[in-house]
Structure 1
């Protein structure tokens, strides 16, 4: 997968527009749009900023790592996530099994939700710990 596809996928997972991402990066939307459409590539400074913004590794962003595990995740966090995914029972909607394609979509949504919740918990714990 090319970097533009990754950027589009990550932005859409967050429910953000190109304008919002461009504003976060302090650049103009056409520049960001050129990255998503693989017309141009972001320089290393922006690759790092984009990886941090989306909580993924630079390797993932550049397509060298298919694993979407955030860079801040510990090995225990990874085990927790894998355990959650390994609970492999039939996935049903209204009593009808869903397709493999729909299962994959649900898995991606669950993955995003899992990592967002894990990050919030870590941030809350770190904040409370520093207040003590």
Structure 2
């Protein structure tokens, strides 16, 4: 998915207009529109602002990472998740290694399960998101 498509998807998910996004970024709507329509690309300063505004990673915006982090995730939660994903080892089914597209599907399911379990634990043990 291209950067412009991600920006459109994230903006619509928040229920914002292009005018509102441009205002939050301190730019004019035509400039923001050019990003969503892949006519131009934002510079690194705005990539960082967009990632922060949408609470996603820069890698996600640039299409290098499909992980969407929950709003309530703390820095420690993010480190835990990264550690879990970096554990090396083959994913196997019935003794046969799984690779390629199937491995990515399994990874996405694991991501969802990880964040659901983390959220449930926070509810159970009364932990709240700390301001970072």
TM-score by length of structure 1 reads 0.59
Aligned pairs for 1:121-132 (under 5 A) are: 121-123=128-130, 126=131
Higher normalized helix content (fraction of residues): 1
TM-score between both structures, scaled by the size of structure 2: 0.59
1:8-23 aligned at under 5 Å gives the runs: 8-23=8-23
For 1:80-123, what per-residue CA distance to the aligned partner results, in whole angstroms no more than 9, with x for missing partners? 9515769xxxxxxxxxxxxxxxxxxxxxxxxxxx8xxx9xx415
Unmatched runs of 5 consecutive residues or more in structure 2: 82-109
Query: Taking structure 1 as reference, are residues 58 and 80 closer, same or farther at Cα in structure 2, changes over 3 Å only?
Result: closer
Superposition misfits of 4+ residues, deviation over 4 angstroms: 70-73, 75-81, 83-86
Structure 1 vs Structure 2 CA RMSD:
3.2
Trace 1:1-132 onto structure 2 (pairs within 5 A): 1-69=1-69, 72=74, 74-75=77-78, 81-82=112-113, 121-123=128-130, 126=131
